[in-house]
Amino acid sequence: MAMAMGAMPRATVERMTKRRIRQSSRQFRSPREWALRIASALVVGVAGYFSVAHSLAYTTRRASPELAYTLAPWDGRIAASFSEQLSGPDATPYQRMKSEHLASYALVRDPTAVEAVATLGINAHLRNDPSVARRFFTYSDRLSRRDLRTRLWAIEDAVARNDIPDVLRNYDIALRTSSYASGILYPVLGTAISNVDIRNQVARVLATKPSWGEGFLAYIASTAKNADATADLFIRLKQQGTAVAPYVSTLVVERLIAIGDVDKAWRYYAYLVPGSDRQHVRDPEFKQVNDRPTAFDWVPVVNDTGISASIQATENSGLFDFAASSTAGGEVLRQMQVLTPGTYLLEGISRNIEQQAISRPYWVLTCASGEELGRINLPNSAMSGGRFSGLVKVPSECAVQYLKLIVRPSNEVGGVTGQIDRLSLRLAH
């Protein structure tokens, strides 16, 4: 055997020797040593379990507070989140009692768990115990300004005290710190602006350009039901120099028209576009290229039936360009009018219109109800330098009108094309 080992390489001999030593040490290890090793392994395993459970609990804390609490019931913040879920507006008496116990337990584990403080405040408020509720919510406010329930209570408390500045201060905090606040508070504040005092205070807050300002104004502009309050708010913003995004201004005009108050819509539009006159068309030379025109602006009508239309800027002015395939026809341009009763002269200049009489475009003024008030056929542009004119009459019973350019199907292979350089509408003398 010794001779055989002597014939082995030195490295091989050393490995075999070390293996025998390890085997021998295991054979002679005491029960105490084995117990310590097993205990250490168990500690490592338990620590690993708690670490994984805690990580998973925090991952699911917002989506499923109950699951998170099941995984890590020792964590005060997780218990606080579960207490918040159980204390919702539709909570049963049992759930509310459980939320109370969980919140108290959470604060023992973590005195800074703001959700637990708010839960206790909500429960006290619902028990009609205002002094206890105030104590908890005051503590919650000191811990964090980001808790939405605390802000909602503070808003309700300020409303009860008729403290409008404090109401709006808490609105501002909530809307800046909670992504869920807008869905709750926009509708409430949108209704509240019907009160002139609140409306004036809201305008002052919006003048400070809060981060939520544009979103709130877009909400009001697209959902408003009170035309007077809506128009007054946006006019006040204009007067005090508060910027309003152009698309929001368009939404305001559209909404006021949609709820049936064209006069209020016109009043706001006149503030937006100084010099606007209800007895004249706006932008007679087509200088304004608007991505979101209001109904009182020129609105090109584009569809998928072979018609194209656009307002195009030129070096010193602008023009309206249109084209339609030979079989296409219909409205290509419109502008809402609020003309007073009387007879009006419509005149303008066209370019590049060359059609048989039956296929030439025409201008028409209609009442909002659809009744036609007058029609002016366009001559070919080669005649009289493209100038055209005609009279239309607005009756007293027609308060809102539409001025439209209509193209008709053509026998020409290239269809109908042309431009309008200028269009005016004024009372005839």
Residue 286 lies in a domain: no
Q: Which of 284, 386, 304 is closest to 345 using CA atoms?
A: 284
Residue 189 has pLDDT above 80, yes or no: yes
Q: What is the pLDDT at residue 72?
A: 66
Average pLDDT over residues 298-320: 85
Residue 203 lies in a domain: yes
CATH of the domain at 355: 2.60.120.260
Residue 334 lies in a domain: yes
Higher pLDDT, 76 or 333: 333
Distances from the Cα of 59 to the Cα of 62, 136, 373, angstroms: 8, 28, 67
Amino acid letter, 403 = L
Higher pLDDT, 47 or 253: 253
3-state secondary structure of 162: coil
346 shares its domain with 253: no
H or E stretch covering 200: helix 196-207
257 shares its domain with 323: no
250 shares its domain with 369: no
Residue 257 lies in a domain: yes
| Per-residue model confidence as pLDDT tens digits over 151-168 | 999 999 999 999 999 999
| Per-residue model confidence as pLDDT tens digits over 349-379 | 999 998 888 888 999 999 999 999 999 999 9
CATH of the domain at 206: 1.25.40
Per-residue HEC secondary structure of 77-136 comes to: HHHHHHHHHHCCCCCCHHHHHHHHHHHHHHHHHCCCCHHHHHHHHHHHHHCCCHHHHHHH
221 shares its domain with 80: yes
Of 272, 289, 310, the residue that ends a domain is: 272
Q: How confident is the model at residue 30 (pLDDT cuts 50, 70, 90)?
A: low
Residue 21 lies in a domain: no
Domain of 358, in residue numbers = 299-427
Higher pLDDT, 247 or 47: 247
Give me the sheet containing 362-367, strands edge to edge. 299-300, 330-337, 401-407, 362-367, 372-377
Q: Is the dihedral of CA 41, 42, 47, 52 positive or negative?
A: positive
Written as six digits, the tokens of 223 are 């959902």
Residue 8 has pLDDT above 70, yes or no: no
pLDDT above 90 coverage of the chain, percent: 59
Residue 7 lies in a domain: no
Domain tally, the chain: 2
Q: How confident is the model at residue 215 (pLDDT cuts 50, 70, 90)?
A: very high
Q: What is the pLDDT at residue 68?
A: 65
Of 232, 257, 272, the residue that ends a domain is: 272
Residue 2 has pLDDT above 50, yes or no: no
| Per-residue model confidence as pLDDT tens digits over 234-245 | 999 999 999 999
Residue 84 lies in a domain: yes
Q: How confident is the model at residue 201 (pLDDT cuts 50, 70, 90)?
A: very high
Arithmetic mean of pLDDT over the chain: 85
Residue 104 lies in a domain: yes
Residue 348 has pLDDT above 90, yes or no: yes
